[in-house]
Structure 1
């Protein structure tokens, strides 16, 4: 049908009026987790994202792999992968996209958000203005250039997850930009003007090998002289994607308003680097390489940090301070980069790890200037130094879920975030997070199964692991990571060793000064043994644990000695190696080489599947590491002990029953299975060996008395929720574990809501 429009004095874009309960600005992982959490807790949510896809720096537009407390499995934070919604996203991506295709990760996020009831998504939509009255935001104005539509969205609660803090900035909220001096907070890692002001941006590129030579003609704006990059000798033809994170620049500019300037400089750098690789003659094997993709927008690290009622600082991280209002955690190193980026004479980063995970207080997650603005992602109240750790994407995702659930509580309880943060209120938020599978270090879920009596079909006891998987040469220090209960004695351990000629081998018993850590920084005892040919050797340290804690049975390096291995794998028990992960450390031991106010300790790292190994051993008396009572303790993963139940290997029909004397009523049952919380599950580029980890229960049935509530046949998640029909009462719940992904299944708990 033909339409004709006559001349007019002016026209206006159409405007849509939306009324909701919560506005979330920013669709990175923090904003996605915030919007999903709030919608699942009953709020009407509008998520405003200024890009065509979700994920922010993790999206196909930037293609940085999402990571967090696991730190590429390169630090001592065992079983530290993020839980809750961030964990759900990582597990779903692994299931659908273990090869790490960034376009498929876009799809995973879009699918989760688009299918969530109560959540309205506005893509390609930019917030341009806000309305506020006194200390409360009332509405946002936004514009979508694709459909040429203006939006006016009013709400009662607001979450700023925009990375640059568009809501907080327009509302006039207090914030900081740049690096604090050492004197202000006593942070010895404060960088000083020579090293840093802000972290810069990066643009990544992917390459592809072809069957014949490919010519490359650089653009006129490409960097002409590669020696302008002091680290240019680190360039190789096999570097790709996130390997080139150090192609960074812009830390001395305004990283918001000069982002376009920074982008053009990064394009200059990227195309100059590629010209050098292709055309310098230094890399003959690059002849058949071509560029498959170059980022069109930079990945941004730092801009504004908004002020809450507390400020996370270096000491919170290094000392692992536990806050009364702890609602989340981090574990990435304090990772600071020189402000001059790729043009700096300094190394590309300065990284220092804490000995374990640290907690993040809720008081850092809302604006001190406004009564209904919550902050998440890169915007939280932190110093530049602390921000160097908390800024990574999986940590940001965890913080997103926190503020999403906090917004729901504030709306439902008619509280401001500052009121919710008070000691007599914040437990509501902490327990709601734990019920939904989020992990808060050293915080248990209170009475998750309502004082149920529990019965299991069997329980695995650790007696001996057969030597059926060959031998491991002791080319570096390695250790068996094994937990003990308080008051429990470590039994004598027998291992199989061999050597062609008589060798001395030292074996040590280590633990961690902080029982919540697994860093092996406390030496208990050592035993020297003489190894000759092949035989069984007894280790006896006569140690009794004063608290629940993990022990290291550590074998010193001796390449002339080999130790027998087993093919079995056990939840909460593993081998670790005093080794180096070059992505996150420069040595096998952290050295405080400049008085940076950090600890010195060894890195004990696991191996990634399928390269994991476990030594064969026998115990003089068995250990009960996976007792049924762990299903009632409210601890959601290995921490000081395994905290899970595992059936015996010969149990053909493993099952658990929860029984109550009085009939019960609940809205929902949540099951928490094992899905290897130590596996980093990076989202893109790296790829992973398995789509679901071996101990995960893949097929189960859940019964209420004699009624089958659910049967699930392709589970690939650690956390599974099941709604109970309204009005249904029960006195018994039975869970049947029918299949796993290949290893013994493990269960952490059943929670009633």
Structure 2
């Protein structure tokens, strides 16, 4: 046996999305970093071994997609990958190689794969000295010492071996009075899953289940207990088993049981189910996972213990470093062995559970990622310091990736300041937040206040700016047509168009966010279809909202209200003349009351920053990713160049976006003017795109049309503009440019020559540093 000893400033154990982002972040900020992964590929549950596609806040909230390192990775994967994205089971090695490529290219980062850690050596009671792992197939023992350790193992193995306190199972209702907690505490956890992929062969393919497979013979198990075989190609999160087995120590038993059940489920779909067997006739099993993906095991006690109340109340934390927005998704213990599946699915995603589990976007504090018992140990991922109920929302991979980037950044900055990481976290949270924002992350309660950003001192102007006129069903913006979800590609037996039509029906009150530039609104129009034979009345009102995620049905004030008369047939443009004065720049929401005879017709494309919502009950709305048709007079000046200095890089209180007039041809430019000479070495740009909805809704080889493709940066030192940088073929959202030598200038101009399809040039933010 060979022994290999190495020392690093930061050691990250676990190469899932949380650990990967932690390691890359630490290395980018100058820390000598080691990433130790127990599998041959990075990505954890998202890898090609397990194939759970990353979810996050954007599944439930428009423009809430995670940014930072995870965004870089997912944008790159879509640009390179030929494969459709499915719910689960279709992840291929392109994703593995995107991560591997980033790891290889990141300076200061060393990694070891195929190396499970099984021993921890302590330096006293409160510090870890080393971790030891065995490199598979190499007869090598790896011993790594470090100043700071980050446990991203999911199971919290490093923290456990270091003697940290941890919890596993459900807290009782009496401990924190959480609505989602069971009455009595238990050891029950959510289960593990494996996935499968089926392939269309183009001709009939038989399937015979092995004798040891589980036999399924009753449709109620699937259709009345929340386990619909909604897509014969795979993607079933409900192929899940937990208790009576332990999700850590009995993982292999669970894997075998899941394999038996998965073959039985495919046998039902392929040979027995009258709803699917004809559709499945030409499909063959292409892949079945054999590495269980875990949802829950140990949760390590941290400096703070986050509960459901923090999530549902959107508590503002001083040390906010990440955000979440997945619903409180608590699967029924036992999975396939339980009477019903996850409660929301079992209820058809309707009713009380659907309403009370909807949450976010909410902030996440760094203190849940700091071990209470060990001073040089941090955590990120599903093993952080939260209750079982809160874990239901923070556990998804988009969210854990953000936590990973935050702890990796904090670890590196603490080392740079020569401070213990807990002291740095306590005393320097404001500085940490500014670094995370500069690195492309988003914080619900943060904005750019970086004193070193010279752009904040400049005046800004542009060659042109778009105005908001509204949009109708025939609205087509060449670069921002509505994306199609993966569900639109699935084999269909039933006519699903009816559901699509109902999605716009005023069977519940609906609202449309409208960005205003300040001043007044004189006229509003909505496009409505009356499916009845008589004139219908619809109540309408305009209300102020705080931001894009202000889901209150009653926001406390009505700016204007009326009753619209809609004749039979249509669609009709129904006008509403109403002088609304004194508006501040931001959003208002146009709400229409419920009337099941009326369709509020969808807009035919995407206007950046404009989305809708429907009344889901209990006084709150639920976000939708499309817009309803509307017109507004006068046209609103909401896309001005001043938006690039707002400090926010996505729609929130307003659109926060400069957008050029789409009627004017490219090239278009944005200019910063200091009226004095400044020295610039670094220029950082944030472009639009990849924010509206989650990763699942983007097709193969996708490059977001709104993102600048070809652009130049020009400097004026008093003798006119000269080009100092040129970029071609871009599709990433954030670009950081470090010039070879500093440039003295009084004006800086970004000229966008071409986008990836949109007629408008657009920028969320520009930063400049000496």
Q: TM-score, normalised by structure 2?
A: 0.85
The alpha carbon displacement at 1:289 in A equals 2.5
Indicate how the Cα distance of structure 1 residues 408 and 237 shifts in structure 2: closer, same or farther if over 3 A, else same.
closer
- For residues 196-229 of structure 1, the C-alpha deviation after alignment (integer angstroms, 9 at most, x for no partner) is 8211101111112323333333334311455699
Counterpart contact for 2:467–2:661, Cα < 8 Å: yes
- Residue 475, structure 1, aligned to residue 505, structure 2: yes
The answer as to 2:145 corresponding to 1:141 is no
What are the within-5 Å matches in structure 2 for residues 206-605 of structure 1? Answer: 206-224=197-215, 226=217, 230-231=221-222, 239-240=231-232, 243-280=235-272, 282=274, 284-285=277-278, 286-350=280-344, 352-422=356-426, 424-447=427-450, 448=453, 449-463=455-469, 465=471, 468-469=474-475, 475-476=505-506, 478-484=510-516, 488-495=519-526, 503-509=535-541, 511=543, 515=547, 517-522=549-554, 524=558, 526-532=561-567, 536-540=573-577, 542-543=579-580, 549-556=586-593, 569-574=606-611, 576=612, 578=614, 589=616, 601-605=620-624
* Unaligned runs of at least 5 residues, structure 1: 1-12, 579-587, 591-598, 608-612
Over the aligned positions, Cα root-mean-square deviation in angstroms equals 3.0
Shift of 1:336: 0.4
- Cα deviation, residue 745, structure 1: 2.9
Preserved contact between residue 534 and residue 567 of structure 2 (Cα < 8 Å): yes
CA distance in 1, matches of 2:182, 2:62: 29
| Alpha-carbon separation, structure 1, partners of 2:37 and 2:529 | 61
- Paired residues for 1:670-685 under 5 Å: 670-682=684-696
Correspondence for 1:713: 728
In 2: Cα distance, 1:361 partner to 1:307 partner: 14
Q: Deviations over 1:135-175 (max 9, x none)?
A: 22222211111222221222111111111112111111121
Q: Distance between the aligned counterparts of 2:586 and 2:26, measured in 1?
A: 36
Aligned residues: 708
Q: Deviations over 1:222-266 (max 9, x none)?
A: 114556994476667663466311121114432211111211111
Partner in structure 1 of residue 115 of structure 2: 125
Superposed CA offset, 1:651-691 (max 9, x none)? 33310111224433355221011014112013xxx762771
Q: Which residue of 2 aligns with 1:6?
A: none
Question: Is contact 2:671-2:747 (8 Å) kept?
Answer: yes
Please name the residue that 1:91 is paired with. Answer: 75
Mean Cα deviation higher: 359-368 or 705-714: 705-714
Decide whether aligned partners of structure 1 residues 137 and 642 sit closer, same or farther in structure 2, where only a CA change above 3 A counts: same
SS at match of 1:409: helix
| Shift, 1:416, TM fit | 2.2
Match of 2:677 in 1: 663
Task: Return the alpha-carbon distance in structure 1 between the equivalents of residues 471 and 230 of structure 2.
Answer: 41
2:25 pairs, out of 32, 37, 57, with: 37
Aligned to 2:713: 702
Evaluate the alpha carbon distance shift between residue 238 and residue 566 of structure 1 in structure 2; reply closer, same or farther with a 3 A threshold: closer
- Whether the 8 Å CA contact 2:468–2:637 is kept in 1: the answer is yes
C-alpha distance 413-126 of structure 1, shift in aligned 2 (>3 A): same
Q: Structure 1: how far apart are the matches of 2:233 and 2:289?
A: 10
SS at match of 1:33: helix
User: What do residues 38-82 of structure 1 show as CA deviations (whole Å, max 9, x unaligned)?
Assistant: 1111111111111111111111111111010012xxx3x221000
What TM-score results when the alignment is normalised by the length of structure 1?
A: 0.87
Deviates more, 1:50-59 or 1:739-748: 739-748
Aligned to 1:155: 146
Q: Give the distance between the partners of 2:585 and 2:383, measured in 1 at CA.
A: 37
Aligned to 2:762: 746
Residues 423-475 of structure 1, C-alpha deviations (whole Å, 9 max, x = no match): x41111100000111000021111542411212112222246577459x9963
Give the 3-state SS of the residue equivalent to 1:710 in structure 2. Answer: strand
- Seen in structure 2, the aligned counterparts of structure 1 residues 467 and 300 have a Cα distance that, compared at 3 Å, is closer
Distance 1:522 1:377 in 2: 36
Distance 2:436 2:407 in 1: 10
| 5+ residue gaps, structure 2 | 86-90, 345-353, 477-500
CA distance in 1, matches of 2:44, 2:153: 9
- 8 A contact 1:230–1:344 mirrored in 2: no
